[in-house]
Every structure is written in C-alpha cells, then in structure tokens.
Amino acid sequence: MTAPDLAAGTGARSPGYYLRLIGGQLRMSVLAALQYRLGFWTEGVLGVVWSALGMAPLLVAVEHLETVEGWTAWELVVLTGCFTLVSGLFGALIQPALNESMNHIRRGTLDYVLLRPADALVLCLVTAFAPWRLVEALGGLILIVVGMIEIGRVPAALDILSALGMGVAGMVALYAFGVMILCASFRAVQLQNLTFLIEAILDFARWPAQVFRGFLRMVFTFVVPLAVMTTYPAEALLGRLEGSTVVTALATSAGLMLVARVLWLRALRGYTSASS
Amino acid sequence: MSHVATDMSGETGGLRRLGRVTAAMWRLGASEALAYRAAMLVWILTTTFPLVSLALWHSLAGGGAIGGYGRAEFTAYFLAAFVIRQMTASWVVWDLAAQIASGDLSTLLMRPVHPLLHHLMSNLAALPVRMMLAVPLGLVVLIFVGDVEADAGLHLLLAPAAVLMAWLLNVSVQIAVACLAFWVTSSASLFELWLGLYMVLSGYAVPTGLFPAGLAAVVRYLPFHAALGFPVELTIGRLSGPEIAAGFALQLLWLAVFGALALWLWRRGLRVYGAVGA
Amino acid sequence: MEPVVEVRALCKQFRVPRREAGLGAALRALFRRQYTTVEAVRELSFSLGAGERVGFLGPNGAGKTTTLKMLSGLLYPSSGAVQVAGHVPAQRAPEFLRSISLVMGQKRQLSWDLPAVDTFEFNRVVFDIDARDYRRRLDELVSLLAVGEVMRRPVRQLSLGERMKCELVAALLHAPRLLFLDEPTIGMDVAMQLSIREFVRRYNVEHGATVILTSHYMEDVAALCPRILVIDGGQLRFDGSIEALTRRIRPLRRASVRADSLPSAEALAGMGRVVEVEGGRLVLDVEPARVPAVVQALIALPGAQDLVVQDAPLEEVMRELFRREAGAEPGR
C-alpha cells in the first residue's frame, strides 16, 4: 500500500479560504444559537455549574489533606481554572462539531458535507459550534486570574507562552481523539457513544498529573495526554514547567494528530454512505 | 420476535403466558445486547470511572487514611462501586424518550406486553453481557492493586436486595424523566442534570462519608446515595445494623416516590400521546 | 466530442456482516464475525456527453444511487475507472467538487432552524462564489422557482415542495456543470412534481448542465430524459432512448376507445390482443403495422370517442424487462 497522501483532497486552498469557511460556519452556529436563547442558561450557566460541581472530589481531598501532591489550595484553583477553560473550549468547539458530524452520519447527510470543495476533515471539524459554552471557558479564565492573584505571582512572558503552547497542544490532542472516534463511528454507529468516554476521561484532568502513578501516569501523559491539557499549562504559569517537558508534550500531540489524520483518510476510502 | 402462543385458559394460563413472553423478550434483549457489542464495550469503558478514581484515591491515601478510608478500604469501595454501577445501570431514558418523540412507541403499545416491561427485560437481558465484560476487568484491577479490605459477613446476604432496589430506583427515575418527552422535546438533557448530580452525590466519584460532616449527613439522605453509595457500603461491610436498616428504609422510600411518579407520568403521558395521534 | 462522464468496468463491493437470528448465533458472532460480500455495481460502462439529460432506472437496490455516489466522489470504486469533467471523482479535487452538485430527495442540506437564505449565504462562502455572480444567480434561481418569500422563513416551517425548491437553489448557486438528482420528487404531489420537472428541463436547456436523474416515478424520467440507462443487479441492462426500449420490449401499441357498443370477441381477436373490455371502454394491444386499419375500425364504432393510441406505459415495459431477466438468469 502506498503511503497515504496526507494532503489528499485539500487541493489549492488558501488559509484565507479556510478562515472564511470557519467564519461562515460560526455565523450559522451563532444564528442558530440566538434562535435558542435559552441556551445561555442551559449551556452557558449550567456549564459553569457543572464545572463547580465537578470540583467536589478535589475539594474533599483538599479538606482532608493540606496539599495534594505538593499543590496548595490556590495552586489547585489555578489548575481548576485551566480545566474549566479547556472543558469550555472543548464544549464550544470540539464537541458540537463531533456530535453534528455523527448526526450527519446517522441521517446520511454527511454526503453533503463531503461534497463541499475543501478538505473533508476540516469541514467535519467546523460543522457546528456551541457559542454559549464559551461562558464556561470565560469562567475558567477568571479562576486562573483569581488564583494567580491570591498566590501573588505574575507569570513571565515565557511562562505565558509555554502555558498557551501547552493549552494548544492539549486542544490538538482532544481534536485528535475526536477524529479517531469519528472514524470509528463510520464503521459502527454505536461507537458514537465513545464521545461519552472522552468526557468521562476529561474529568480526570481536574487532578494534578502527579496524583497518578506508574502505568496510569504514562497513559495520561502520552496516550491520553490529560496532563498536557491542564497540569502543564498550570505548571507553566506557576513557573514550574521544564523546557524538555514542553517539547515532549508538543511532540505527543503532533503524533496523535498524525495518527488521527491517517485513520481519517482510511475511513474516507471505506466510506459506505447510508443507503437511500 | 418468537412466536407467542395465546392461551385462553384463565389465570394460570395467563401467568404461564406471561412467563413465556417474558422469557422470549429476555432472549431477544440478550441477542440485541450481543449484537451491539461495540456499544457494550463503549459502555463498559465509560463506566470504568471508578477504577481510575480508585487509582487516584489509592495514591492520595498513600500518606495515611483519609476520613476512615485507607488504601485497602478505597480499593474495596471503588471495586464494589464499579461492579454495582454495572449491575444497576440502564439506558431506558434514551430509548424510551426517543421512542416517544419519534412515534415508535405506537408499535410497542400494540404488542400484548406492557412497553415498560419490555424495557425492563431488555435492560436485564443485557446484564450477563455487561458482567461478562466487566468482571474480568474488575478482577484484573484487583490483582494489580493487591490489598483489599472488606468485611465478609451476614450483611452480604442482604447485598443482592440492596442492588436490586438500586436498580429499580434508577429505572424508575429514568422512566419518569423519559415520560417528560410526552410534553417536552429535550427530556434527555434533563436526565443529564440528574446524572451530573449522581456522579458527585451518589458516592461514585468519592465516598459520601468523606464529605464535610454536615453536608455528608444531608447527602446521604438523597436518592443518589440510595442508588449507589448505600449498596456499595453495605457490600464491603462498612455499615452497622441500624445503618443498614435505615438505608433500606430510604431505598424503599425513594423507590416508592419515583416509582409512583413514573407510573403517574406514564399514564398521563399516554393520554396526551393518544390525543396528538402520533 | 469529449464525453463529460466516462465510466469503464466500474465495480463496487460492500462487505456486510452476516447476522443470523437466534441467541446462539449472536453468541458465536461475538467471537467470530462472518461477512458476505454484496456486489452493488458490476462491470458498469457508459459515457455521457455534455448537456445530456439521462435517467437511471431500475428496481430498489439496483445500484443506481451507488453509481451516482461514485460519480460524485463520495464512494471509492472497488475497481474500474471513472472520469467526470476530466477529474477522477474520488480524488475530491476542489475544482471537481465545484463543478458538480448532488441533490438527494430524502436528505436535506438546508439548515433546519434557519431560513434557507442563510444556508444560501453559507454556500456562497463554501463554494467561493464571487459576490456579483452570487447575486445574479440567486435572483435568477429565486425567480425561476418562485421562492422569494419562502426562503426567508425557517426551513422547518416549509412544505415538502417548498423545501425541495430551496434545496435546488442551494444546489445550483455555484453553477455546476453537472447536476445529479437522486429521487428529487419523492413524496410530492403531482403539481409540484410537474413544476420541479419543468425547472430541471429549463435549467438544462438554458445552462447546458448535464443532468442525471434517478427516480421511481416513471413519468419524471419519461418526460425529462431522452436517454435512459436501465441498471439492475448492479449491471447495465439497457442504454438508449425510451422509444428504443419500448420497441424492443413491448413493440405492440396500445389503443383505447369508448363506444356505445363494442365488436364481438372474434372481431376483436382479429384486431389485436384485448387488454380490457368493460363498461363501454375497450383497450387492446395492436401490432404497429396494423394500427391504421384498427384505428379506422374503432372510429367507425357507434358513439366512438376518446380514441388514443400510445406506446405501452413505461412501467409495464420495465416490469417486462425485469421479468425477462429473471427468466434468463434464474440462479441470480
């Protein structure tokens, strides 16, 4: 089998076109979201409430132990802020696109998405947004700022850059998993339930990576890099992240995206399209 | 669906027939469960949450017991939570709500068996398959982690009853929420509300006994705890006699409340369903 | 002239898991899945010229839609060659995708909650349509299909016919050279079918777009497509005009008339094969050469009126065609 052409189907499309495409889709999603104004409450506010509720186990741990693996209470607030930010972005950007793509597959309307003159994967990943979930992301940002203020530390420019880099790497990893699940759902519609798996696992990113030992630590750093999504950005802001870790984290995410891309091209080749 | 013989010979005939039909539905449910093995696997993976929690609290308790739970106790707790969660889970809410919304419920209503019974059977029929996938996983973790501290005693005889009640409670809640689909479009998201609260307040993510004292007392009265925390603590032997009695009483109470609610909503909902002519 | 669509020995197989009934079989399937191979398209070959209107006819599951999807680049062929507008569809080159359009009657591309005009605007971005071209084409399509007011209402409030008209606008905004229509009039009333049909014909004539249509409604195909491809069991059974097919399969013409009194059975037997004699109405199949004589005889009947001579209806021709195949290949 010849090496898959990773750029297959992209043709000569400028980045400007893709930006316009994303803009167009965003406009559609915002219009649809505004039709459903209740969404501010059900998706936005409720998202924040969920995040707060999810903090319960962490709070229990902090109450019984002074520090959790060397993280003080306010440092954990920063970590929780990173988590809430990632969770909100996931809910606003990745989850809706995944769900909508899977709806398309179930209804048989993915055909229309695939007929658009652009890279099919990008098309699927921008097919829907949930703007109200950005409220949650905003909440996370506020938590980070509050935490940093209480700790009394102003992060250096390099720290902020590292934190952003790790955040991006974390999002890329989440995108990669989303794509892998999408590919799986081509073959068996029931595998769409794997999105619940992502959400469930994501929950463990609330905890500092140091809490996990041995095998699980490996898994959560290199296979499902929860550490990269929350612990590393928080550590970067706290000035505790080493350069080598940054590099390996970026490499892990890039690797995952590569695997996802290959699986996607395979899935497209075997696409059967719901029968009419 | 296998052939259902109509037996007109009165009471015992009716019971025999019900038994036959129930068995047939069980077989069908089991076949369906096996057919959707991908969904099964996904389900199992999703509910391994307690096993990761196990690793988490096991590690946190490395420096000493937390609120009466040492490493071994945490292991026992979360393993039991994992298995009991598997046994008491159901997905009636999604299936039933979808059937109501799409009108597919009509086909079920035309069968000589109560639709709710159909859903119960489907759920139960999937149990062996779920256990087949879950138990090995639990055993592997057990061997891997090693130390387990649990009391084996007479209370173990009561455990199946508690688990059964927990299952019925879960199913009742799901049916009640699903019935809202007779009136509202997004009843499934209401269930997600319940599920979110369940994850935190039932003892799924962390034993309810570890909550701050006042809060713990309140949380342990709620239906969430009755649906998971109570059977788990009963199984690993952390409850005294009076506590066990109180727990069962609470289970009965919540089961009565949600069971009645579910049946009431079902009956009212059917009237609306018929009126709209779905 | 270079054909715009060229298909050679096209094949498509699907691997379908085989599941037998019963608990035991389900248990076995848990450990070892068994598959059967379904041949959806077998050795299909044809070519179409630019601006043609072609109909795909055939029973359900014959492979018509699968072929259309391979022509659109949605499905990878298992073997064989496909070229559409100078491209290999499966490569999904952007210029290729901008030159085709697929409209599926049973699936919609319009966003459900928003007015159709929002989806049009989105398509403008997606297909990179120049703003002026977009305005011009939108106005033209909207007036042709009379959806000016309808397109501003949320799609979920529209009737089936209104929705399909908007779907057509959305599909044609980027001026595709090829238009693939899969069951476009399914579920519609006759008036709507007629107007959609008329629109497609007019569009083809005015813009020279090649049209491939699959439909269960024979009237759609008969009225719209001078050329038909009959596909059954994934294979091409016939490629040509409807008249040619009819001549070959059912050469007899059908004559019908109403009269106060009808000829005797012997006289009728001499004219042709009787199809129906009831309540003053006579229908019979007549050999083409004898039609003039039979027509004279029928006109001469007392109180004769509503004399019609036509080819056998397309549905009957198709049924006859498939019946013959079933007879010829009993083991398929």
CATH number at residue C32: 3.40.50.300
Are residues C106 and C218 both part of a single domain? yes
How far A186 CA lies from chain C's nearest CA (Å)? Answer: 13
What ipTM is given for this predicted complex?
0.80
Confidence label for C291 from pLDDT (cuts 50, 70 and 90): confident
B5 found inside a domain: no
* Tokens found for residue C310: 């036509």
Are residues C242 and C276 both part of a single domain? no
Average pLDDT over residues C59-74: 89
Share of chain C above pLDDT 90, in %: 44
Are B127 and B175 in contact, with CB atoms under 8 Å apart? no
Asked if pLDDT for residue C177 goes beyond 90, the answer is: yes
Are residues C212 and C72 both part of a single domain? yes
Are B234 and B220 in contact, with CB atoms under 8 Å apart? no
C289 found inside a domain: yes
- d(CA C74, CA C65) in angstroms, rounded, equals 11
Average pLDDT over residues A21-49: 79
Are residues C64 and C179 both part of a single domain? yes
What local confidence, expressed as pLDDT, does residue B42 receive?
A: 67
Are residues C242 and C205 both part of a single domain? yes
User: Which SS3 state, helix, strand or coil, does residue C240 take?
Assistant: strand
**Secondary structure of B147-190 as H, E, C letters:** CCCCCCCCHHHHHHHHHHHHHHHHHHHHHHHHHHHHCCCCHHHH
Interface test with A, best of C37, C107, C112, C130 (most A CBs within 10 A): C107
Are residues C256 and C204 both part of a single domain? no
What would the DSSP string read from start to end of C156-213? GGS-HHHHHHHHHHHHHTT--SEEEEESTTTT--HHHHHHHHHHHHHHHHHH--EEEE
Are residues C143 and C280 both part of a single domain? no
Instruction: Single out the residue in C246, C275, C300 at which a domain terminates.
Output: C246
What local confidence, expressed as pLDDT, does residue C239 receive?
A: 92
Q: Which of A117, A270, A273 sits opposite C97 (nearest CB)?
A: A117
B2 found inside a domain: no
Are residues C196 and C263 both part of a single domain? no
What local confidence, expressed as pLDDT, does residue B278 receive?
A: 44
Are residues C29 and C121 both part of a single domain? yes
Report, as ranges of residue numbers, the positions in chain B whose pLDDT lies below 50: 1-10, 277-278
CA separation, residue B259 to residues A84, B162, B252, B253 (Å): 36, 16, 10, 10
What local confidence, expressed as pLDDT, does residue B236 receive?
A: 87
| pLDDT, chain A, mean | 85
On the CB side of C20, CA atoms within 13 Å amount to: 10
Strand runs labelled E in A44-136: none
CA separation, residue B197 to residues A60, B62, B204, C9 (Å): 16, 28, 10, 60
For residue B264, what is the DSSP state? H
What local confidence, expressed as pLDDT, does residue C332 receive?
A: 41
What local confidence, expressed as pLDDT, does residue A8 receive?
A: 55
User: What residues contact A225, with CB distance under 8 A and at least 6 apart?
Assistant: A169, A170, A173, A249, A252, A253, A256
What local confidence, expressed as pLDDT, does residue C207 receive?
A: 92
Are residues C255 and C293 both part of a single domain? yes
Asked if pLDDT for residue C62 goes beyond 90, the answer is: no
Greatest C-alpha distance within chain B: 69
Chains that touch C (3 or more CB pairs under 8 A): A, B
pLDDT digits 0-9 by tens, A149-165: 998 888 889 899 999 99
* Tokens found for residue A194: 């794997």
How far A190 CA lies from chain B's nearest CA (Å)? Answer: 5
What value, to the nearest 5°, has the Cα angle with vertex A88 and ends A151 and A63?
45
Are residues C225 and C272 both part of a single domain? no
B233 found inside a domain: yes
B254 found inside a domain: yes
- d(CA A163, CA A212) in angstroms, rounded, equals 21
What domain count does chain C have?
2
C324 found inside a domain: no
B contacts of C30 (beta carbons < 8 Å): 34, 37
Are residues C280 and C305 both part of a single domain? yes
What domain count does chain B have?
1
Asked if pLDDT for residue C19 goes beyond 80, the answer is: no
C328 found inside a domain: no
Instruction: Single out the residue in C221, C246, C271 at which a domain terminates.
Output: C246
Q: Return the residue of C nearest to B129 by Cα.
A: C27
Contact: B31, C30; criterion CB under 8 Å: no
B3 found inside a domain: no
What local confidence, expressed as pLDDT, does residue B40 receive?
A: 67
Specify the higher pLDDT residue, C140 or B40.
Answer: C140
C46 found inside a domain: yes
pLDDT digits 0-9 by tens, C192-206: 889 999 999 999 999
Query: In terms of residue numbers, what domain contains B259?
Result: 10-276
Instruction: Single out the residue in C231, C246, C261 at which a domain terminates.
Output: C246
What local confidence, expressed as pLDDT, does residue B3 receive?
A: 40
pLDDT digits 0-9 by tens, C304-319: 888 888 887 777 888 8
CA separation, residue C15 to residues A187, A270, B168, C38 (Å): 11, 10, 41, 6
Sheet with C273-278, side-by-side order of all strands: C273-278, C281-286, C253-258, C305-311
CB of B66 less than 8 A from some CB of A: yes
Contact: A200, B39; criterion CB under 8 Å: no
Question: Where does residue A174 rank: exposed (0-12), middle (13-18), buried (19+ CB within 10 A)?
Answer: buried
**Secondary structure of B191-249 as H, E, C letters:** HHHHHHHHHHHCCCCCCHHHCCHHHHHHHCCCHHHHHCHHHHHHHCCCCCHHHHHHHHH
How far B171 CA lies from chain A's nearest CA (Å)? Answer: 20
B196 found inside a domain: yes
What would the DSSP string read from start to end of C99-152? TEEEEETTS--S-SSSBHHHHHHHHHHHTT--HHHHHHHHHHHHHHHT-TTGGG
What local confidence, expressed as pLDDT, does residue B5 receive?
A: 43
How far B255 CA lies from chain A's nearest CA (Å)? Answer: 25
Interface test with B, best of C23, C28, C34 (most B CBs within 10 A): C23
- d(CA A23, CA A12) in angstroms, rounded, equals 19
B4 found inside a domain: no
pLDDT digits 0-9 by tens, A105-152: 888 889 999 999 988 899 999 988 888 888 889 989 999 999 999 988
Asked if pLDDT for residue C26 goes beyond 80, the answer is: no
Interface test with C, best of B1, B31, B40, B121 (most C CBs within 10 A): B31
CB of C23 less than 8 A from some CB of B: yes
Q: Which single residue is written with the structure tokens 């379904």? A: C38
C318 found inside a domain: no
- d(CA B230, CA B240) in angstroms, rounded, equals 12
Q: Which of A160-174, A187-201, A220-234, B240-254 has the lowest mean pLDDT?
A: A187-201
Are B208 and B201 in contact, with CB atoms under 8 Å apart? yes
CA separation, residue A235 to residues A51, A74, A75, B101 (Å): 20, 13, 9, 48
Query: In terms of residue numbers, what domain contains C42?
Result: 5-246
C319 found inside a domain: no
What value, to the nearest 5°, has the Cα angle with vertex A167 and ends A165 and A171?
115
What local confidence, expressed as pLDDT, does residue C247 receive?
A: 83
